[in-house]
């Protein structure tokens, strides 16, 4: 077992996601500090390092990985380089914490897990909703039987198209399957399926239909799915990323024999518990750096003090589900280079 008492982090890919969501938390957690950052643009890496008081910066990921002061690596690049950087870091003897989705496809996830097992280096994935108060409350309510025996889950995520989606030269990597693995579905639905895996355990049956209806980009923009958990709960989902603003929806409904729980994944709304006694709303405050609670668990795990709820094993299960849902769409268009 890999055990490190003082964790010195290096970040590969210090872009927007690291500015507030994750980056500062590495130096706020006890026995943890951020000592190096990397970005391909050296000037931007230097700027990040200065603004966040990080002593070292690089424009080459391998140099950061091989920095002797760095003993753990956070990979916050787009998904097409998650596997390669993670494997390189683990082979260099350094634990890895990687952004979600874990990789572009399930095979890359399996490759990462294999190297983790071969090297003994821990592999964690940034599905931080497993540690946020609202989502922990949902799990608590389900586990306590407040809604009785869980029966069904329904996911709805309908988002307005981004203006940049209209113009190929302005589109982000999120809609480029060669980089992201798929489209917005992988980026956003991964959070939802990972959370449901946390509550109900693994999904064992899944099927889906993915389409590109608006035609703005190569990736799917509209998805429907049906799935079933080992625990017996069944589920359905609908995702669309090209609706009009007034048609937006962000809802997960968990229905049981004695009531229902309603929760958003991304919007700032209360958790609703609906039973024969009426409706109860639960409000929660997230940490300033939304990944803080999970990063604390990662650090404690590496110190041998606790268990982290988001690992390569759990994250790979989510990648398998996502891939099963969209696989027919991608088999019908140009093969993605993997």
The set of residues, in sequence order, having a beta carbon less than 8 Å from that of 290 and lying 6+ positions away, is 20, 21, 22, 128, 132
Task: State which H helix or E strand residue 45 sits in.
Answer: helix 42-51
Contact yes or no for 130/309 (Cβ under 8 A): yes
Nearest CA to 9 out of 46, 40, 49 is that of 49
Per-residue pLDDT at 1: 58
Percent of the chain scoring above 70 in pLDDT:
98
pLDDT at 51 > cutoff 50: yes
Strand partners, 223: 210, 239
pLDDT at 336 > cutoff 80: no
CATH numbers and ranges of domains, the chain: 7-128+290-307 (3.40.50.720), 133-285 (3.30.360.10)
Per-residue pLDDT at 267: 95
Instruction: With 0.85 as the threshold, say if the pTM is over it.
Output: yes
Nearest CA to 155 out of 255, 269, 252, 270 is that of 252
Region 111-116: what's the mean pLDDT? 98
Instruction: Express each pLDDT in 232-284 by its tens digit.
Output: 999 999 999 999 999 999 999 999 999 999 999 999 999 999 999 999 999 99
Average confidence score pLDDT of the chain: 96
Per-residue pLDDT at 225: 98
Instruction: Express each pLDDT in 54-95 by its tens digit.
Output: 999 999 999 999 999 999 999 999 999 999 999 999 999 999
Per-residue pLDDT at 338: 44
């Amino acid at each position: 077992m890999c055990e490190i008492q003082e964790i010195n982090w290096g970040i590969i890919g210090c872009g927007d996601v690291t500015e507030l969501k994750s980056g500062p938390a590495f130096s706020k957690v006890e026995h943890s500090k951020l000592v190096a950052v990397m970005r391909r643009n050296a000037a931007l890496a230097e700027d990040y390092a200065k603004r966040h008081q990080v002593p070292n910066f690089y424009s080459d990921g391998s140099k950061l990985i091989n920095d002797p002061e760095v003993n753990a690596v956070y990979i916050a690049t787009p998904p097409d380089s998650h596997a390669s950087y993670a494997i390189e870091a683990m082979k260099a003897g350094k634990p890895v914490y990687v952004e979600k989705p874990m990789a572009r496809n399930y095979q890359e996830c399996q490759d990462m897990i294999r190297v983790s097992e071969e090297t003994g280096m821990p592999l964690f994935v940034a599905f931080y909703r497993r540690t946020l108060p609202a989502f922990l409350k949902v799990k608590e309510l389900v586990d306590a039987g407040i809604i009785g025996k869980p029966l069904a889950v329904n996911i709805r995520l309908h988002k307005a198209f981004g203006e940049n989606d209209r113009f190929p030269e302005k589109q982000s990597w999120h809609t480029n399957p060669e980089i992201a693995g798929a489209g917005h579905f992988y980026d956003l639905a991964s959070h939802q399926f990972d959370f449901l895996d946390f509550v109900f355990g693994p999904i064992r049956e899944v099927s889906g239909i993915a389409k590109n209806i608006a035609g703005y980009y190569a990736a799917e923009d509209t998805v429907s799915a049906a799935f079933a958990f080992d625990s017996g709960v069944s589920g359905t989902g609908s995702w669309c990323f090209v609706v009009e603003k007034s048609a937006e929806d962000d809802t997960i409904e968990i229905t049981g024999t004695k009531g229902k729980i309603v929760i958003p994944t991304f919007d700032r709304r209360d958790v609703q518990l609906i039973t024969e006694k009426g409706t109860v709303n639960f409000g929660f405050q997230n940490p300033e750096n939304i990944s803080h609670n999970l990063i604390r668990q990662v650090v404690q795990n590496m110190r041998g003090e606790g268990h982290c709820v988001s690992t390569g094993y759990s994250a790979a299960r989510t990648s398998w589900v996502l891939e099963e849902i969209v696989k027919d769409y991608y088999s019908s268009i140009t093969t993605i280079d993997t």
